[in-house]
Structure formats: structure tokens, C-alpha cells
Amino acid sequence: MQNLTAYELAQRIAAREVSAREAAEVANARVEEVEEDVNAFVTTTPELALERAGRVDGRLQGGENGGVRLWETVPTTVKDVLSTRGVRTTCGSRILEDFTPLYDASALLNFGEDLVMVGKANMDEFAMGSSTENSAYRPTRNPWGLGRVPGGSSGGSAAAVAAGEGWWALGTDTGGSVRQPAALCGIVGLKPTYGRVSRHGLIAFGSSLDVIGPMTRDVRDAALLLQAIAGHDPHDSTSANVEVPDYLAELENGVEGLRIGLVTELMDERIDAGVREIVADVANSLEAAGAEVGEASLPHAYYALEAYYIIAPAEVSSNLARFDGVRYGLRVSADGVHEMYRKTREEGFGDEAKRRIMLGTYALSAGYYDAYYAQAQKVRTKIIEDFRAALHRYDVLLSPTSPSVAFELGSKTGDPLAMYLQDICAVPASLAGIPAISVPGGLSDGLPVGVQLMSDHFTEPLLLRAARAAEQVADFEFTLKP
């Protein structure tokens, strides 16, 4: 059972060859076995998983499998930024250490009452970071090399999938946090179109950028998990009222006739040679499989990181204002309300959260707003226009997901800029709001390299189809680590 994909597992459960409860037992046992090394979770929920899996099995007894949908039977890991009713949700922060939500995030509602949840995955505090070392709890380790980071901010989710602690996971992506950890842990990570998945119940980081996405063993699993979480939600005013297609329908159609553009600006010397080599290999193999492959240009991609690191902190400085010791989580008592605010935030937030709040507040302040925030928004528009032109010429764009393979724990914690540079390939698609997916392309120095594919808004069926072909031509096979 351990080596099946989530889709295959769900088929076996639907055929009653195994029960949902047995699958949950396998997931729980794997957590017991590897968690001490991997640290993928802030909170594990083994009893809850068994109880809910038992209920799923009960429903499966009804006619037509009791109407149970495939995804409902699969043990699932949830990033600790998504609200889960009755299960504490820390966001990787001390300030929410004892916070237990009263409702589930809307993205989870298609699992009904019976989401077979293995646990809440570790993450960088409030999803700010690229290594999961900004967690207020403990760092997660990369199952491919326990001395290395799993990437971030959804590093716990990525490590859990790579290690087989649950069959798949949900992450969130503001500027690469699903794709980059997926790349570093040798799994698939999909950032859907902005607005495709409801953000209601997702603790906000950058509200104009945040998207919830699947982190899975292969592309078919990503399609199935997207099917479960996509849809319109009146509780999120930015959620799109666009019909949800069948994400599995076109998956196996191959790349014959597809136009694929390799992004020149994301294949320069800022990217490690070993990474570039694998991306180029995948491009060549896709051409051999019948795609038309050429060079694409996103001239303003060079400014994407700078724009992102103004816009995202600006939004965070506003979003984190709600953690004031009154409404949620931690309160440190002091004389007078202002002193209480100050002490609560001083003790509750870690260094990176404070850094971002200060950067964002500065960029939005009178006298600097035009020079920073307004300028960054203009760059964002330029990037959107670049993508529009490139996606007129090509169906899908190709690039690395991350400039390097998984780096050593502690090697970038003292240098925020070096950490931010991890995101150069991921942030352009975030600023444009288009869907992007990372698939394992092969190994460099024995560590996984992610290949990123991007396409136009709401064209996930096309993107998944191209990604399915890419994973099939790639020299990589999913196997459980460590």
C-alpha cells in the first residue's frame, strides 16, 4: 500500500480491496516511524484520522459507495496555516500556539466532516520563508538528506509527502511556497490560478497573492486533489465564479502539438548549472515527445523579486495587525492596552515576521508609498503584460522552480537576502496570478530538481496535461525517503 499513489490508493479503497481505516493506520505508523527524524508536523492527529476513516468506511457500505468521492478516502496532511475546526492551528507562530479555530477552511469542505487528516504540517511562521527554519517550533528536515532544508514555507507538507506521512498534502503559495518545497523534496506542487481555491479560513499572508495548492506524489494526484479544493465560495470575495472542469479528463493527452517556451531570463547564471541542465533535458525530451519548444522572454522577470518583496510585506503589515492580544491567541499582560499590544507582539512574533512588518509598514508610509508600493504595483503590471505576450506565443512556459537543490540547514538563516533569492523563479507567476506547477525533473548531486510549468489563468487542465507529460519523460521515480 505504501508505494501506491493517492489516486491508486483511492481506487483500491473504492473497490474495497483495502479500507480507508487500513490506509489511515499505515499513514499513522509511518508518522511514528520517521517523524523523529523528519519533524514534518506541528500537531499529529492519529486518533482523529482513524475515527474519520472509520466513518468513511461506514459510508462506503451504502449503494454506489455511499456517494463517497475518491479524494475523501485518502490520508491527508494539512499545512498549519489552514483553519481546522477543533484542531489547533498555529501558523508556525508562538502568537497562535493555543489557537483552535471554530470552523474549517472552505477549501476543506469538499471532504465533508470526514477529512482523514494525519496532522497539521510545520511551516515558516505565517508562511514567510523558504526553508521552514522560521517556524517557531522546530525546523523540518528534508527526507532526501536530513541535514538539509525541505524548502518553505510549506516545508512540513512537502517533507510529509516525500516521507509517506500521509499520501498527499495541502500547502499554500504566496511567492513559491508550494512549488519550491515540492522541488526540493522531489514531489509535485501545484499553485492554482489566484481565486481558483477559496482563501476563507486560510490565515492571510499576502491577500492578493495567497493560493492553496496540492502537494503530491505525481501529477494525477495533484489533479485529483485540485478537484477536491477548487470552486467558488461566497465567503471569499476574490474567489472566482468560474466553473470547475474535470481536471483528470485531459491529463493523459500528451504534449503533441503543444507550444512550450523556455524562459530565457530564468535560465541565466543565477541558476545552478546542474539545475539548468535538468530543465534543458526535460525541454528536449518534451520536444522529442512532439511538443514545439522555443525560447520565451519575460523581460521584467528581473524585477519580480524586488516587487514581490515590497507588495507581500505591505500586505502582511496590514494582515498581521489583527494579532493584537485581544482577538486571537497569545496575550501578554502589561500595564495599559498599548503596553499589552507591544509585549504580545514582541513575544509572539519571530524575527522574520517582525522584519516583514517593518518593511511593509515603511513601504506604505506617507512619503514612501509612491516610491515603493506604487512603483512595485507598476512593475507587477509589467510582469502581467510580459506573461500575456509570452502566453500568446506559447501554451506553456518552462523554467526551473528553484535556483538550487536543497541547501544545508542553517546555511542561509543569517542572510535574509540569500533566502529571498530562493524565490526568483517562483514569484513572477505569483505576481501574475497564473497557475504554475513544479514536477521532479531528475537529480543533481543526488538531490531532486524541480521543473516549473506555467500557463494562462484558469487553464489548469492544459497545465496538468503538460506536467503529466513532463513527469513521464523525466528521469525520476517517486520512492519513499528516508
The footprint of ligand GLN (CB under 6 A) covers 127-130, 153, 173-177, 205, 312, 423
Which residue carries 474567489 as its cell?
239
Which one, 114 or 173, has the nearer CB to ligand GLN? Answer: 173
User: Would you say 387 and 432 are in contact if contact means Cβ atoms under 8 Å apart?
Assistant: yes
**Cell numbers describing residue 129:** 520563508
Which residue is catalytic, options 83, 153, 198, 399? 153
DSSP for 81-127?
Answer: TB-BTTB---TT-GGGTT---SS--GGGGGGGGG--EEEEE--SGGG
Sequence-ordered list of residues with C-beta below 8 angstroms from that of 27, at least 6 positions apart, any chain: 49, 75, 118, 164, 165, 166, 167
Q: How far is the CB of 135 from ligand GLN (least distance, A)?
A: 13
Residues 106, 131, 177, 198: which is the catalytic one?
Answer: 177
| Shorter beta-carbon distance to ligand GLN: residue 236 or 423 | 423
Radius of gyration of the chain (CA): 21
Please confirm, yes or no, whether 237 is among the known catalytic residues.
Answer: no
SS3 456: coil
Closer residue to ligand GLN (CB): 187 or 282: 187
- Residue 387 sits at φ, ψ, to 5 deg, of -65, -40
Distance from C-alpha of 38 to C-alpha of 132, rounded to nearest angstrom = 12
H-helix segments, 296-336: 304-319
Distance between CA atoms of 133 and 407, rounded to whole angstroms? 12
For residue 466, give the 3-state DSSP assignment: helix
> Considering the complex, what minimum distance in angstroms separates the CB of residue 93 from ligand GLN?
14
Grid coordinates representing 456 are: 494562462
* Gap between the Cα atoms of 419 and 411, Å rounded: 9
Nearer to ligand GLN, 179 or 276 (CB): 179
Closer by beta carbon to ligand GLN, 102 or else 417: 417
CB nearer to ligand GLN: give 28 or 177: 177
CB of 426 to ligand GLN, least distance (A): 7
CB of 195 to ligand GLN, least distance (A): 16
Least distance between ligand GLN and beta carbon 402 (Å): 10
Q: Quick check: is 79 catalytic?
A: yes
Question: Which residue is closest to ligand GLN by CB?
Answer: 177
The one-letter amino acid code at 71 reads W
- In terms of residues, how long is the chain? 482
Residue 181 or 442: which CB sits closer to ligand GLN? Answer: 181
Query: Do the Cβ atoms of 325 and 94 come closer than 8 Å?
Result: no
CB of 72 to ligand GLN, least distance (A): 27
Minimum Å gap between C-beta 405 and ligand GLN is 16
Tell me the three cell numbers of residue 77: 496532511
Of 79, 191, 412, 481, which one is the catalytic site residue? 79
* Residue 153 bears catalytic tag: yes
- CA end-to-end span of the chain, whole Å? 17
- Min dist. Cβ of residue 173 to ligand GLN (A): 5
Rama region for 65: left / alpha / beta (φ>0; ψ in -120 to 50; rest): left
In this structure, how many other beta carbons lie within 10 angstroms of the beta carbon of residue 314?
Answer: 24
Q: Quick one: 283 or 304, whose CB is closer to ligand GLN?
A: 304
Cβ(138)–Cβ(150) below 8 Å:
no
Report in angstroms how near the CB of residue 266 gets to ligand GLN at its nearest: 16
* Residue position matching grid coordinates 470552486: 231
Return the closest-CA partner of residue 426 out of 291, 284, 271.
Answer: 271
Task: With H, G, I as helix, E, B as strand and everything else as coil, classify residue 299.
Answer: helix
- Phi and psi torsions of 467, nearest 5°: -65, -35
Task: State residue 42 phi and psi, 5-degree precision.
Answer: -85, -40
Nearest to ligand GLN of 104, 423 (CB atom): 423
Q: Which residues are catalytic?
A: 79, 153, 177
